[in-house]
């Protein structure tokens, strides 16, 4: 069985930062992610709030992160961690789809995923007009009309992005106010081809071989070629159930040092119970988690 000092699970912004720090502390690190480097970065069209980069794409930032890691001799392993068990000597046994790995400490950086609307037509038309990723799918809707659902930063940013490609964007939000940043709200309101439907819920997504329309709870039917759903986030924490404390929404509970309820397991980024889920907070968490794990390993 392969033995390492630290296993970093997830190679999004939090995981890659942790791994870079741990490598610089001189530890043997396994950085594991079946998708390679990037995590949710790969879905971000424009990033304008990561210091040092006035405007960049998620893909470019992920590429830069990976280059920096490679320069330290750190390669991401395309590996899915399937289970974790604590051994009698206090170390951890990770069973993966490639091999078993024994690690003295773990950083949980498994991030989060979009949540679903759970309405008729959503699963049926996924990939046929239903999307959760504007960067991936926007080009398919060039000069077409789309519906965007949500009221947070992601919904607003992607409504703006889509408005540059699509003929019309209808932004549907269940409340009378958006949660997203004021500057984004202003931009949305000042964009001519974005139309708002506030206090409205999508109740079904309709079509034949692909999406043709969306029905709202008012009974209104909006003809559209696509629907982009940005309604919330679900933590990828099932791997840690029973090992560490999770909050009522399933996020890993940590203190300010990114320590979880289990010694030797630290958590960073979107998977933990944090006030803000962004690239900059994920990288910050990753650095703190690595520093705490370094201290744990040297004890």
Ligand X SMILES: Cc1cc2nc3c(=O)[nH]c(=O)nc-3n(C[C@H](O)[C@H](O)[C@H](O)COP(=O)(O)OP(=O)(O)OC[C@H]3O[C@@H](n4cnc5c(N)ncnc54)[C@H](O)[C@@H]3O)c2cc1C
Cβ nearer to ligand X, comparing 111 with 207? 111
Given the residues 136, 217, 220, 247, select the one marked as catalytic: 136
Helix 13-24, helix 58-71: angle, nearest 10: 20
Work out the number of other CB atoms within 10 angstroms of the CB of residue 86: 15
Q: Which residue in 5, 137, 225, 294 is the catalytic one?
A: 137
Give least dist CB 118 to ligand X, A.
19
Closer residue to ligand X (CB): 135 or 213: 135
Min separation Cβ 286 and ligand X, Å: 7
Cβ atoms of 154 and 230 closer than 8 Å: yes
Catalytic site includes residue 133: yes
- Give 235 or 264: the residue with its C-beta nearer to ligand X: 235
Catalytic: 166?
no
Structure tokens that stand for 288 in this block? 């703190």
CB of 82 to ligand X, least distance (A): 7
Distance separating alpha carbons of residues 294 and 5, to the nearest angstrom: 9
Non-local CB neighbours of 1 within 8 Å, separated by 6+ positions = 93, 99, 100, 101, 102
Tell the residue number behind the tokens 């924490």, with chain if given. Answer: 237
Establish whether 137 is a catalytic residue: yes
Is 41 or 215 the residue whose CB approaches ligand X more closely?
41
Q: Of 136, 129, 138, whose CA–CA distance to 43 is shortest?
A: 136
Minimum gap (Å) between residue 18 Cβ and ligand X: 9
Interface positions with ligand X (CB under 6 A): 9-15, 32-35, 39-41, 43-44, 47, 49-50, 80-81, 109-112, 154, 157, 236, 239, 269-270, 277-280, 282
Q: Nearest to residue 135, comparing CAs of 61, 30, 237?
A: 61
Catalytic residues: 133, 136-137
């Amino acid at each position: 069985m392969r033995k390492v000092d630290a296993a970093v699970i997830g190679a999004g912004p939090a995981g890659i930062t942790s791994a870079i720090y741990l490598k610089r502390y001189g530890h043997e690190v396994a950085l594991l992610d079946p998708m390679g480097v990037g995590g949710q970065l790969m879905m971000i069209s424009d990033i304008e709030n990561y210091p040092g980069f006035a405007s960049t794409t998620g893909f470019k930032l992920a590429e830069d992160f990976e280059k920096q890691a490679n320069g330290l001799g750190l390669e991401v392993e395309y590996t899915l961690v399937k289970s974790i068990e604590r051994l009698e000597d206090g170390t951890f046994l990770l069973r993966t789809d490639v091999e078993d790995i024994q690690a003295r400490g773990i950083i949980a950086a498994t991030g989060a995923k979009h949540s679903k609307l759970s309405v008729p037509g959503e699963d049926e038309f996924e990939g046929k007009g239903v999307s959760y990723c504007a960067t991936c799918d926007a080009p398919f809707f060039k000069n077409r009309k789309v519906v965007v659902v949500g009221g947070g930063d992601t919904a607003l940013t992607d409504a703006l992005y889509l408005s540059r490609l699509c003929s019309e964007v209808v932004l549907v939000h269940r409340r009378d106010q958006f949660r997203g940043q004021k500057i984004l709200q202003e931009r949305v309101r000042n964009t001519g081809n974005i139309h708002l439907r506030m206090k409205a819920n999508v109740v079904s997504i309709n079509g034949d071989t692909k999406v043709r329309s969306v029905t709202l709870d008012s009974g209104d039917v909006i003809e559209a070629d696509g629907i982009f759903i940005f309604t919330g986030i679900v933590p990828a924490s099932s791997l840690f159930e029973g090992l560490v404390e999770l909050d009522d929404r399933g996020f890993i509970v940590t203190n300010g040092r990114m320590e979880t309820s289990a010694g030797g397991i630290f958590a960073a980024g979107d998977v933990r119970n944090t006030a803000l889920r962004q690239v900059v907070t994920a990288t910050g968490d990753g650095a703190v988690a690595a520093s705490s794990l370094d201290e744990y390993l040297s004890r």
